[in-house]
Amino acid sequence: MSVVGFFCEKTDEVVQFEECLECARSRLNRKLDCPFDEAVIAGIIKNLKNKEGISVTMIAGCHRASFIQRHHDTYVYPSGMYWAFRGQIAHKVMEEAALHADAVIETRFEKEWDGVLVEGTPDLVIPSQRVLKDYKTTVNIPSYLNKDRVILAYDNHRVQVNLYAWLVPYDIEELEVIYMSMEETRICPVEKWAESSTKKTYQTVDRFMEENLVPLYEAFESETMPPYARNWACDEYCGVSDICYRELKKELTAARRVVPLKKKGKKDGYTSEAANG
């Protein structure tokens, strides 16, 4: 099960990918005042590649959304997927620039953690410089200064590049997230995690995998929906929010049907003093 088509941006009807693409290609969508031309629609469709394994993006992102995408045939609005497509524009420019002879650009890697296969595609690795970079297009570039007066990358992006550093078969010493908005660009260095540590205060790859990969893997294996946890993508960037909220409503309704046992007290003619004789 997977993303199998679009909701039409103008009519809200369910359409298959090819129908949407043909509508744009034939210029019929211009009569509907649809903002998406055929090149953009084709790019969005290409970006909606369905994956069978557990990816770095799944582990670092919303587990509930990943579960829904895997276990439900879903439809999305093109506008809901545009943000992901937009990021590919920067990747294409980077690829064509060919600034490093040994650059490893958007290459898929696999690695096992405790018997679970993890896959991922980092944007750019430069082995000779021991650097791994990830490029993000965004409306709001990070601006938060930490105690050392360094502007930090967003939390989920720091997680993502650290998992990529663990995944790739290169010795990585530096991690960077490069943000691009319509007004500016910013390079945010990211502190690299150790693979493991005995100090509980340190975030490590092993610790993060135990807390995130394991429950995601178990959810997939048992076909059990992960619990709802609101995050940054819920409002505008989630393509399966309608299914998520529908399932959440069912879960809340089922929870209300569970009536707790009534505790006996004075109203029942029973007190703790009486019980103690």
Residues 208-217 have pLDDT tens digits of 999 999 999 9
* Beta bridge partners of residue 145, listed in sequence order: 151
The neighbour count for residue 217, using CB atoms within 10 Å, is 21
Q: Mean pLDDT lowest for which of 97-101, 132-136, 148-152, 179-183? A: 97-101
Q: Mean pLDDT lowest for which of 56-60, 221-225, 262-266? A: 262-266
Above 70 in pLDDT, residue 87? no
> Positive or negative CA dihedral for 26, 27, 33, 38?
positive
pLDDT grade, residue 231 (50/70/90)? confident
For the chain, helix, strand, coil in percent to 5 are 40, 20, 40
Instruction: Summarize the confidence of residues 173-185 as an average pLDDT.
Output: 91
**Bigger pLDDT: 37 vs 258:** 37
Instruction: Summarize the confidence of residues 41-48 as an average pLDDT.
Output: 82
Cβ atoms of 104 and 127 closer than 8 Å? yes
Domains and CATH numbers, the chain: 83-228 (3.90.320.10)
Instruction: Summarize the confidence of residues 31-57 as an average pLDDT.
Output: 83
Q: What's the rounded Cα separation, in Å, for the pair 30 and 38?
A: 11
Q: Mean pLDDT lowest for which of 116-130, 162-176, 225-239? A: 225-239
pTM summary value: 0.77
Cβ atoms of 89 and 96 closer than 8 Å? no
Which H or E element spans position 45? helix 38-47
Q: Which of 44-48, 119-123, 235-239 has the highest mean pLDDT?
A: 119-123
Above 60 in pLDDT, residue 267? no
pLDDT grade, residue 271 (50/70/90)? very low
Q: What's the rounded Cα separation, in Å, for the pair 126 and 225?
A: 38
Q: Which of 1-15, 89-103, 248-262 has the highest mean pLDDT?
A: 1-15
Instruction: Specify the DSSP class assigned to residue 226.
Output: P
Instruction: Summarize the confidence of residues 220-248 as an average pLDDT.
Output: 84
Q: Residue 7, class by beta-carbon neighbours within 10 Å (0-12 exposed, 13-18 middle, 19+ buried)?
A: buried
Instruction: Summarize the confidence of residues 163-177 as an average pLDDT.
Output: 97
Instruction: Summarize the confidence of residues 108-116 as an average pLDDT.
Output: 95
Instruction: Summarize the confidence of residues 111-117 as an average pLDDT.
Output: 95
Reference 178, options 140, 124, 135; nearest CA is: 135
The pLDDT value recorded for residue 20 is: 94
